Structure 1
Amino acid sequence: MKERVLTGDRITGKLHLGHYVGSLKNRVELQNQYETFLLLADVQALTTHFENPELIKDNLRNVALDYLAAGINPEKATIFVQSLIPEIAELTTYYSMFITVNSLRHNPTIKAESKERGYKDMYYGFLGYPISQTADITFCKATLVPVGEDQLPHIEQTRKIVRRFNQLYQPVLVEPKPLVGDVPRLVGLDGNNKMSKSIGNAIHLDSTKEEVNEKIKKAKTDPARIHKMDLGHPEVCPIYAYHQAFRKEDSEEIYQNCKKGQIGCMECKRKIAQSINDLLELMRERRVEYQNNPKKVDEILVTGTERARLVAKETMQEVREAMGMNYFTN
């Protein structure tokens, strides 16, 4: 049997180039190697957007379109909606019975995100995010979970929950392994933060050619370069980081020319804008096909969710048997 991968996104907004570099590009490759499940995490989006559920509804299809436009093949990967798999909610409840609040409070990712958001008191759903994520991973018995370094504490928490469940009841759950990619976070257009939809320093995957050109034109560069012939410091320039991500084969030449003051920032921006537009052009073509056939997108989501639900039912049958909660079955 192929190993099974579980990955996905909280659907709080359209995806951007940071998502593509950090995960989506890798997912397109993974679907050819593993049995891949892609989660549209609408319930987990409520952990930070519970007061704005219409945002989640609007972005369900936007994120699905981003997946399909980027090259996710629904014949190879199962795209499904989290809230439509009730077994995930059931597993979340069971796991929460034997996980201490202290272990959740000390999760480094939870601590960092709560500080970033200025939470003095954490909501139950936000604090319990690692438990919900464990249910996402284990409902389909995923063996591999692609993550960045900052998400490793969540996966370790999942592994601990799985071990605890298997010790308490029966060894029916699979302990997943993290699949850590060596991909740096893409810095935002402001040069100060990672590319983020919430900060507004991102290039979205559905951007037009004109939007890409305009955003790159306004992007921050090396603050020490005032004139074209000034010696540059590409290591601190966001535009050079984009060259490394999208023009890897030519990035060393850009680096040397910038250091020597042999290329101006506008020329450097023009080159990277062209490369980004070349990348997005194929996505635009795919996106138009699906946008012109919205029923097809809905069919993909419904079919994927039905497929995931079948797997979930099988897992839950084993879980209930292990816990002795299969009351009326022989």
Structure 2
Amino acid sequence: MIKALRIEAENVTRFHSVEAAPVGPGQVRVSVRHVGLCGSDLNTFKGLNPLVQLPRIPGHEIGGVILEAGEGVSADYAPGRRVIVMPYTNCGQCTSCRKGRVNACRYNKTLGVQQDGGLAEEIVLPAEKLILNDVLPPRHLALVEPLSVGFHAVERGRVARGDRVAVLGCGMIGMGVLIAAVARGADVIAVDLSPEKRALAKQFGAVETIDAGSEDVTARVMAWTGDDGVDVAFEAVGLPATFTQCIDLACFGGRVVYVGYSKAPVTYQTQFFNLKELDIMGSRNAMMQDFLAVVSHLETIGASADALISKVIPFSDAETALPYWDTHRNALKVVIEREV
């Protein structure tokens, strides 16, 4: 038996003893050391995630250490090696998979969402879903997946050197967008309500920041761009107002990338889709190349990535983690750490 944290019901988390899964061919048993909490986990805790059936073990931002490997697994996956988890599944048969866009698999089951996740002492996964890395500090392994979502969105938006980019929302996904866009040589203006998150955006390379609660975002962006608008506008908030605002902020011939998703209907004046001839894209999850790009970037910036972690909570106190985040919404990333 192993210890795991379950979201039992709305606003209720409890530890339980669950059966340890056997290790089959092609699989690896991983000792979970770090789990980052995602907005989807918080939404599940608050009863706002329609993709989840409770009870559910949350957690898909996972770093760990290999315990054992099953038959047919490469000797590279040796006990003691550190790993990053790719938490998505892909069927190989749907249209997205056939196009090579496995991140958008129609039948994807993300850990902690459509299936139990990694907030447990250990987890068994296919070797192909593990990225070996003994270079990054252990805590940073749990940063790779959320940053990868932002890096994938930047790839979708075809961000290039010299582009002017607006990022609406400086949570962890928005920070991933910002970091990836800056790394490509873009100039980024970051928009958020939180002064702490705006300060962090400046720390990671934003040229300008806007307080969405007290400033006219559209006016500031237009002033910044000489009334052109931005080449790419990224939505990482998930509100109808920011969905439509991206259309206003994008320049003629510009691009809009939706990374967040609105839980309420969104009403558009669609003439600007045509007048501006906008490329409007959704972005979902991440690909292996996005994960590897994040790993490379984190290895380059080193200890600077520590600033992305707001709070570390011991695994023994994990029952307090989601309630803590619920009352400290300015926290960028809460990480649960299991010492062994």
TM-score tier, shorter chain, comes to: under 0.3
TM-score, normalization by structure 1: 0.27
Structure with more of its chain in helix, by fraction: 1
TM-score, normalization by structure 2: 0.26
Structure number with the bigger relative contact order (C-alpha 8 A, sep ≥ 6) is 1
Structure with more of its chain in strand, by fraction: 2
Q: Which has the larger radius of gyration?
A: 1
